[in-house]
């Protein structure tokens, strides 16, 4: 389950990059107009990483990871309804909180529950799922974008972690 959360994190983090060309074309704006969305995403990740540790200490890694995955899933779905870059920036910040928060918990859980002789393997296998999620994002985007557009990419891409 931790590996799946890590893969969903990797997938969600890459969706904006695949959607940008379609958004830019539809809205008739420049690449530089998306600088705030990128910056707020990274700020959200930084705050989410720090805050998730505090949350996990109080409520447990499992709940911190579940809450984080649900948060970035909902925020990603909402991006599909965004009317402008400012809204996407706010929603990417919120998604960033979840994205930043899910990785520490999902890598800590295997370390806590795996026997010592397999711990390194379990943690490594979980961390490797982050780039695998990014790889899956490319395959996912190539299938979804032509049929459902950038909004569908975020709706479907956000529903995956929410369902999880």
Nearest to 72 by CA among 10, 152, 2: 10
The pLDDT assigned to 145 comes to: 96
What is the rounded average pLDDT of the residues 20-44? 92
pLDDT tens profile 95-143: 999 999 998 888 888 988 899 999 999 999 999 999 999 999 999 999 9
What is the reported pTM?
A: 0.91
pLDDT tens profile 33-68: 989 988 999 999 999 999 988 888 898 888 999 999
pLDDT level of residue 75 (50, 70, 90 thresholds): very high
User: Residue length, the chain?
Assistant: 164
The pLDDT assigned to 143 comes to: 96
C-beta of residue 75 within 8 angstroms of C-beta of residue 87 = no
């Amino acid at each position: 389950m931790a590996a799946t959360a890590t893969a969903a994190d990797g997938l969600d983090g890459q969706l904006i990059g695949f959607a940008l060309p379609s958004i830019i074309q539809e809205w008739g704006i420049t690449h530089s107009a998306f600088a705030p969305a990128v910056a707020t995403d990274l700020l959200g990740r930084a705050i989410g990483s720090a805050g998730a540790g505090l949350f996990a200490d109080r409520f447990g890694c499992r709940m911190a990871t579940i809450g984080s995955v649900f948060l970035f899933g909902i925020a990603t779905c909402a991006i599909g309804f965004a009317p402008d870059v400012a809204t996407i920036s706010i929603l990417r910040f919120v998604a960033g909180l979840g994205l930043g928060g899910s990785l520490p918990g999902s890598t800590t859980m295997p370390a806590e529950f795996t026997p010592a002789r397999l711990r390194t393997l379990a943690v490594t296998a979980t961390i490797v799922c982050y780039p695998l999620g990014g790889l899956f994002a490319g395959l996912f985007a190539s299938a979804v974008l032509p049929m459902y557009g950038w909004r569908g990419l975020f709706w479907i891409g956000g529903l995956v972690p929410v369902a999880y």
